[in-house]
Structure 1
Amino acid sequence: MKAFNRFCDRYIRIHTPVTTPDIVIVIDATLLALPAIREGAMEHTVFLVNIEKTPDQVREILGLDNRVVTVAANSISHKLFKREIPNSTMLGAFAKVAPHIIGIEQLRHEAKHVFAELLGPDLVEKNIQAIQQGHDLCHIG
C-alpha cells in the first residue's frame, strides 16, 4: 500500500502522489526489499522505519546512503496495547524527525484532544505514551 501526505504552511492545491519525498515512513519493514520504497528518494530523503534493526542495517537493506531512523514501534505498541498497533509510536518518531512540521508537545496535545473524542481515558493515555516512546526511543543514523 502506498499513501502520501503533503505538509506546507501554504494551501496545497494539488492532489497527486508525492514523487520526490522528503520523508518515507515504512510501517511494514517487509516492504524494505521492494524497489518502490526507494522510488523518488533524493539525497536528503529520510527513511523512518518500524523495525528492530539499526539505521546502518536498514541502510544496507535499502542500498542507499540516506539518513535512516528506526523505531521498534511494533514492540513498543505490543507492550502498551498487547497488540501491534504501531501508528501512534510512528507519529512520535515522526515528530523527532520533523519537528519543523510538528513538535512532540504539539503532537501530544493534538493527539490527546482527538483521541479523547474516540477512546476511553486509559487508551488515550496509552496512545500518548506510545507517541512519547516513539519520539524518545527512535535511533537516528
Structure 2
Amino acid sequence: MQKIKFYGIGGQGAVTAAKILSIAVSLHQSEYAITVPAYGHERRGAPVFAHIIVDDKPVLLNCYVYEPDIIVVFDENLIDMGVNVGEGCTEDTIMVINASNQEIVDRYKKEYGLKKVYACNATEAALKNIGLNIPNSAMLGALAKSGVVKIEAIEKAVTESFGKVGEKNGNAARYAYEHTWEA
C-alpha cells in the first residue's frame, strides 16, 4: 500500500491529477486506488490537497492520508505560504517536487528532513507542451519516476482524460518523466 498526498495551489490541477492517478492505476495498471480531495476555500490561488491510496489489493479505506509514503508538491512556493508539506512525513517519505532549481529542492529536503526526492521543472514541461502553466500532467510524469505508477499508464490516463488536448498533456507527462532527476 502506498499513501500519497498531493499539495498544490488552486488552478494547477492537483485534484484533477489525483483523480487521473487513480484512473491510471486502476484501469491501466490493474491495481486499486482511491482519491479523497480536500479543499479549503475553493478559489484559484488557495492551497489544495488530495489524498490517494494505491495498492495491489482492493482499497477499503476512504480517508485522508496522515502519514504519507510519498508527497507531491506542485508549487515550489508552498513552503513560503506556510503550507507544511512535511506533516506526517518520516525520513523514508519520498517527495516529488515541481522545482525550478536544485537550491529549492535542497531547501525542502533540509526543512522536512527528507532523504529521497525526485525533482522536475513541471512548469517548464507544461509550458513547452501544452502552452499553459498547469503542471498537473507533468507532475504525474514526474511521479512515475518514483515507481508508484508506470509512465505508460499515466500517458494513457492523461490522454483519455483530457480529450482534444490529451495528446499534449500526455507529451507533458512524458517530457517531465524524462527530465526528472533524483536529488
TM-score (normalizing by structure 1): 0.83
1:69 aligns with 2:118: yes
Distance 2:90 2:176 in 1: 25
Query: Is 1:50–1:73's contact at 8 Å kept on the other side of the alignment?
Result: yes
Q: How many residues align?
A: 133
Distance 2:131 2:154 in 1: 23
Q: Tell me which residue corresponds to 1:128.
A: 170
Structure having the higher helix fraction is: 1
Deviation, structure 1 residue 14: 1.9
User: CA 1:65–1:114 in 2, change beyond 3 Å: closer, same or farther?
Assistant: closer
- 1:47 and 2:95 correspond: yes
For 1:131, give the aligned amino acid.
Answer: A
Runs of 4+ off more than 2 Å? 32-36, 55-58, 109-115
- Which residue of 2 is the match for residue 84 of structure 1? 133
Instruction: Report whether the alignment pairs 1:59 with 2:109.
Output: yes
- Structure 1 or 2: larger strand share? 2
User: 1:53-93: CA deviations, max 9, x gaps?
Assistant: 22434323x24142111111111111222220100000011
Give structure 1 stretches of 5+ with no counterpart: none
Q: Distance in 1 between matches of 2:112 and 2:157?
A: 36
Kindly provide the amino acid, as one letter, of the partner of residue 15 in structure 1.
N
Contact 2:90–2:114 (CA under 8 A) maintained in structure 1: no
List runs of 5+ in structure 2 lacking aligned partners.
1-47
Percentage of matched positions with identical amino acids:
26
Give, in whole Å, the separation in 1 of the partners of 2:149 and 2:114. Answer: 26
User: One-letter code of the match for 1:72?
Assistant: N
